[in-house]
Amino acid sequence: MRLGVSLSFDSADAADSKAYIAGLRLVERTGFDSLWFFDSLGRGSFRPDPVSALSAASAVTEHIDIGTCILQVPLRHPVELAHRILSAHFLSGGRLLLGVGAGSTETDFEAVEADFKSRFRELEEALPVMQSLWRGETVRNVNLTPLPSAGGGPPILIGSWAGSRWIPIAAKNYDGWIASARFTNIAQLKEGVARFRGDGGSRAIATNIPVDLAADGAALSDDDHFDLRCGPEEAAARLAMLAEIGFDDAVVTVSTITEAHMTAVRALLS
């Protein structure tokens, strides 16, 4: 199983741009497989625009995958978003993993005067438009003329926590599925990944996994949400359980952005 990381902006270690950029570099230096960015609008604390953050990460890393988990597609116009994503994919050297979803926070939609109720339909309509543009096709009199190194665009991963409809779509039509440890319990993760694999899905990613290696957490039950709020030995056992369930990637959210802590977290899956 691969281990990815998202850097929390609730940390003093990400309080200014230099510290944050240093943290992005640290993710690769300490051996993580991927670096991920969330998408939210004005929920009480600052979060960078994920596509801008992707571009910054592309400039300061060389090898690791860079992804969104997840980008709320219906908040943007699909043609404009396709252009931005293609640009980020090009700048990353083809390392971008595009995790997308319909969104679940109504206030984000109110902020940009978008229709919350139609978000699933808009997601379903937007993705083929974006893919057509990435293939170099003309859509609405626009042709993005992708460079060969970015032609076809990035892999698309569908974020759907326990969706009976979108998990099969992720398996059959796209490149993977993103589940959330924050919004689903372990029983739901097991059931979801079994359905995803049963429909031929290739890459399953569990994200939103909080970490506190100083906590005294016991073994988890199926009714618990998955986290790493426990000692290192138990945390390693939990990651092994996640891999046994059938996930290919785990994405942890790190609040302490120091080399010692990042190294300790990475060592859980060494």
Q: Once rounded to an integer, what is the mean pLDDT over residues 44-72?
A: 93
pLDDT single digits (tens) 233-270: 999 999 999 999 999 999 999 989 999 999 999 999 97
| Entry pTM | 0.95
pLDDT score, position 14: 67
- The model's confidence at residue 41, banded by pLDDT at 50, 70 and 90, is confident
> Taking a C-beta distance cutoff of 8 angstroms, is the pair 215, 197 a contact?
no
Mean pLDDT of 10-29: 85
Query: What single-letter DSSP state applies at residue 100?
Result: E
Q: Which residues contact 110 (CB under 8 A, 6 or more apart)?
A: 116
Is the pLDDT confidence value at 9 over 90?
A: no
Distances 215 to 131, 212, 233 between C-alpha atoms, Å: 44, 6, 12
Instruction: Give the residue, 25 or 255, on which the prediction is more confident.
Output: 25
Spatial distance between the Cα atoms of 60 and 29, rounded to a whole number of angstroms: 11
With 0-12 / 13-18 / 19 or more C-beta atoms within 10 angstroms meaning exposed / middle / buried, residue 151 is middle
Q: Is 179 helix (H, G, I), strand (E, B) or coil?
A: strand
Cα(102)–Cα(158) distance, integer angstroms: 9
Does residue 72 have a pLDDT over 80?
yes
Residue 163 clears pLDDT 90, i.e. is over it = no
Residue 243, classed as helix, strand or coil, is helix
Residue 144 to residues 29, 105, 187, 219, Cα–Cα distance (Å):
34, 31, 43, 51
The pLDDT of residue 75 is: 97
Domains of the chain: 33-154 (3.20.20.30)
